[in-house]
Chain A
Amino acid sequence: MEQKRISELLLNLHHAITGTNLTLNEIIDNYTIDPNISFVHETELSGKVATGRTVPIEDYYTIEDKLDYGPSGNTQ
């Protein structure tokens, strides 16, 4: 159990590959989620594409969707 040390070593690897000298906090701060990302499971279920970071699942799933694509795979 030594993840802190491992993250330091991975940071060195990051520097070697990217040629930058970023700190761990800078890497985390720079991280952005692609706003056009689509979550496949949501698209499959509801035919909609998620455009935000955290969206309540209820906003995407309707009762009809759940019935259409239930675990059995049967439609109504």
Chain B
Amino acid sequence: MDRQVILNKATDEIIDYVKTVFIIKDIYNNINKDLNKKLDIASPYLNFRDALFHYKKMYETDDDISFTDQLACLDEHLNRGIKDFVICLCSNFYIPVLHNMLNNCSDNKKVKLRNVYHKQKNLITEIRLGGQTLQRFNNQEWLARLTTITQEIHTLLNNDSTLKQLYLMLNKEKRLCPYCGKEI
């Protein structure tokens, strides 16, 4: 394919990625506003910067192999920004909260909670194992799964006032990150 066509497609990808960063920021803004938290993530911004670095290199190189290498790196950075966001959202927010809820609710409610809790944990484990085994990610597949799981969580909370109260109460408690010691 003509280089200029590939470069134009890469430009479109970067522009679409910037739009996804707006969505990520808005998701965190909503969570922070509703639950008075301070969640955020730098990775999508850093990966945007790194993707631009490779985009620039694509213009600079004369070599076809190097050009393809840079394109692959660009693609990897754009996908990694999204992947890091998903892992951060689940690992730092949903999974700890669901875990706390499991320890604080009655047995009959635990069954439903445990189901969504393990679905999230399994998804994160799959993503992380995929990273370790250098699999190329299809973000579309697990983003769709994550959306379904998240919908299940919120439907569960909206249909059960006791669980909803527990969810809000546990979110108000201060929790510290085991790695950096900062409040999460």
Contact = CB atoms under 8 A, between A and B. Distances in A.
Nearest to B139: A6
Contact of A27 (B9, B10, B26, B150): B26
Nearest to A24: B19
Given A17-B27, A18-B27, A9 B143 contact: yes
B23 interface: yes
B143 to A, nearest CB: 4
Interface in A1-49: 1-7, 9-14, 16-20, 22, 24, 27-28, 30-31
A41 to B, nearest CB: 14
Contacts of A24: 19, 22-23
Contacts, number: 77
Contact of B17 (A3, A14, A18, A19): A3
B30 A18 contact: yes
Contacts of B31: 17
B5 interface: no
A10 B22 CA distance: 10
Contacts of A3: 12-14, 16-17, 20, 78
B154 A19 contact: yes
**Most chain A CB neighbours (cut-off 10 Å) among B14, B16, B17, B25:** B16
**Most chain B CB neighbours (cut-off 10 Å) among A9, A14, A31:** A9
Report the interface size class on chain A.
Answer: 20 to 34
Interface of B: 9-10, 12-14, 16-17, 19-20, 22-27, 30-31, 75, 78, 82, 139-140, 143-144, 146-147, 150-151, 154
Given A20-B30, A31-B25, 20 more contacts: A1-B9, A3-B12, A3-B16, A3-B20, A5-B140, A6-B139, A6-B140, A7-B17, A9-B140, A9-B143, A10-B20, A11-B23, A13-B23, A13-B146, A16-B151, A16-B154, A17-B31, A22-B26, A27-B26, A28-B22
Interface of A: 1-7, 9-14, 16-20, 22, 24, 27-28, 30-31
